[in-house]
Structure formats: C-alpha cells, structure tokens
A = this chain, B = another copy of it.
Amino acid sequence: MDTASREGAMQAVMHVEGTLEAAVRRGEAPGHPPGLAAAIRHAVFPGGARIRPQLCLAVAGACGEGGSPVAATAAASIELLHCASLVHDDLPCFDDADLRRGKASVHKAFGERLAVLAGDALIVMAFEVLGRGAATHPERLVELLRIVGAAVGTPHGISAGQAWECEPALDLVQYQRAKTGALFSGATMAGAAAAGFETAPWRALGDGLGEAYQVADDIRDVFGNPDDLGKPVGQDAAHARPNAVHALGLDGAVDRLEALVAAAAESIPICPGRKALRLRIIEEAQQFLPKKLRRAA
C-alpha cells in the first residue's frame, strides 16, 4: 500500500472509531443505568480488527463517498451489530466463552443479565446510528435498513445463522453463509447504499470475503496462537464442528482462501475507485491469517 492510501485507510479507522465512540457515549447520557453502559463500552472497545466496518467504508470510498456521515454511520452500525452478536454468542447457553478479544467476555465481567441487555441495546443502537447518519439522505435510509436488517435478522442473517446451531441437522453452507457471510455482504452492500449506488452488484464481493474469512477462521482455530487471537483455539474439534483444515489440509485451506479472495476482488463492480479497492482487498485479506502462515505476495 502506498503512503497516500495508508493515510486514507488510517483516517477511515479513526472515522469508524469516532462514530462508535459517539454512539456509545449517547448511551451514557444523564440518567443512564451504569452497569449497562459499562457492559456496552466493554463490548465495543477496544475493538478487534474492525474488518467489517473498514470493508463497508472502503466500498463507500470506492463509490466516491468514503468521507460522508452516511458511510461512517453505516460502517459503525455494521460493527455494533457484530459486537452484539459476539456478546450473545459468548453467553453460557451458547459458547459459554470466558474470553473475547483478550479480556473477559461481557457475561463473565458483568453477569448474564447485563450481557443479554447489552446485546439488545447494541442492536437498537445500530439502527439508531443508521437513522442519525442518514438524516440528510433519507432516501438512502430505506435501502440501508433493508440491507442491514437482512444481514443480522432472519431468515438469512446472523440470528438465523446462530439458530441453525439449535437444529438437529445443519445445512453447513446455509449456516456459514448466514452466520458469517451475511454481515460481510451486508457490509459491502451497505457501503454502496451509503453512497447511493445500486447494491446488488456488491453482494459477490462480500459473499466471497465472508467465505474466505470463514476458511481463515478455521485455519486460526487449528494453527493460531490463543494469546494473539484473544480467545481459545481448537474449538471446532472440541465441538465436533466442520473445519476447512480438517477437510482440505493446511495447504488446501490456504489455497482455497486465496482463490476466494482473488475471485472476490475480481467481482468488484465498475466504480470510480475499483482498481485501488481491488489492491487493498487482496492486501488486507492477508491479515486474515496468522503471521507465520502468510505467503509472500
């Protein structure tokens, strides 16, 4: 990445963090319940890699509107929903995870009741943020709500994906597409919607990157370092869940990841910043893998 695009990417990171901070701070207005506010802050900061909001913002940027409030709030809304899903995923009735992003999970730190409520409040906050950011472009808000809602609700969003784990028989493709892929395609399509572009052509990019991320997650679960990841490894084997490394071997899984990223990058629709976005996607997808497994470009 050259210096100018590195600076652009850094500005985008700051933009998302600032929008998240503003949203979380609104929940800390006078008269707020302190435990819930602390649980929400714990769930959102410090963040992970913020891959999904960066992707959303990168698409809006490629469409010529990376710096607008609509794009920033669309990206922040995607991240708040991601955080909400992690909080509820970690609950004792699901993964019963003690650790997340290298610190206590929300229910470990604040109790199960505040974890349920923090997840709920984060979902609501995501839609409030979306509405505020699109106040100057209400006609884009209808499409943004449709896309973001579909990415996290049911029948094909995150809630549905998680619900497949409660079924006696699981359609793996449907499960992974809903649980992981939906928010990636939601991120790319929301980025296009925030810029007033047609959204459907942007689905393939998100779908492909979501699938690649799933393969990378499988690889990390086998070869990752729990200290780097901030969460335990070996969970797929422990829960008898399918894993690309078990199915394809390490080399096969890395090949698959690279092919998915290349195809995703090729799928980027015609837009002002197509070429730069293509390069950035290929470069940033390298971050999906633990350092020791990255191949030279």
A121 within 8 A of B: yes
Residues of B within 8 A of A35 (CB): 163, 166-167
Residues of B within 8 A of A282 (CB): none
Given contacts A33-B163, A33-B167, A155-B27, contact A128 B116 (CB under 8 A): no
A160 within 8 A of B: yes
A124 within 8 A of B: yes
A152 within 8 A of B: yes
Given contacts A88-B120, A155-B26, A160-B121, contact A145 B166 (CB under 8 A): no
Chain B residue nearest in CB terms to A36: B163
Say which one of A135-143, A220-228, A231-239, A245-253 lies at the interface with B. A135-143
Q: Which residues in window 121-165 of A have CB below 8 A to B?
A: 121, 123-125, 127-128, 130-132, 134-135, 138-139, 141-142, 145-146, 149-150, 152-157, 159-160, 162-165
Name A's B-contacting residues (CB within 8 A). Answer: 26-37, 40, 84, 88, 91, 93-94, 111-114, 116-117, 119-121, 123-125, 127-128, 130-132, 134-135, 138-139, 141-142, 145-146, 149-150, 152-157, 159-160, 162-167, 174
- How distant is the Cα of A135 from the Cα of B139 in the complex, in angstroms? 8
- How distant is the Cα of A153 from the Cα of B37 in the complex, in angstroms? 11
Residues of B within 8 A of A127 (CB): 127, 145, 149
